[in-house]
């Protein structure tokens, strides 16, 4: 028996949606840190996302500022304005 178009696809769609919802729940998002902050928590939040020490990112930001005509400051300011703060625990 031949299936018509769309028959049986509802179960596949539901399964796919469930898988995507589970993956979305496990996905890390970039948020400014409330605990690991010196100014606005941008480096602390990026460090939590990447799984590295925030000091490494802070040094990298200073290097980018010194050697790339202030690019580090512009990047930090953009993240401060655009990246939301982490939810309170």
The pLDDT of residue 12 is 65
Tell how far CA 33 is from the center of its chain.
12
The pLDDT of residue 1 is 47
User: Could you tell me if 87 and 41 are in contact, meaning their C-beta atoms sit under 8 angstroms apart?
Assistant: no
Q: Where are the domains of the chain?
A: 28-89
User: Could you tell me if 35 and 44 are in contact, meaning their C-beta atoms sit under 8 angstroms apart?
Assistant: yes
The pLDDT of residue 58 is 94
What confidence tens digit (pLDDT) does each residue in 71-85 have?
Answer: 999 999 999 999 999
Q: Where are the alpha helices (DSSP H) in 1-89?
A: 9-26, 42-50, 54-67, 71-82
CA dihedral 28, 89, 78, 37 (to 10 degrees): -110
Binning pLDDT at 50, 70 and 90, where does residue 10 land? low
């Amino acid at each position: 028996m031949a299936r018509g178009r769309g028959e049986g696809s509802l179960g596949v769609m539901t399964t796919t949606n469930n898988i995507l919802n589970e993956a979305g729940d496990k996905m890390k998002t970039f948020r400014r840190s409330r605990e690991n902050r010196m100014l606005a928590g941008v480096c602390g939040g990026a460090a939590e996302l990447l799984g590295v020490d925030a000091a490494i990112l802070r040094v990298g930001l200073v290097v980018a500022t010194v050697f790339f005509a202030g690019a580090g400051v512009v990047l930090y300011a953009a993240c401060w304005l655009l990246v939301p703060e982490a939810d309170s625990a």
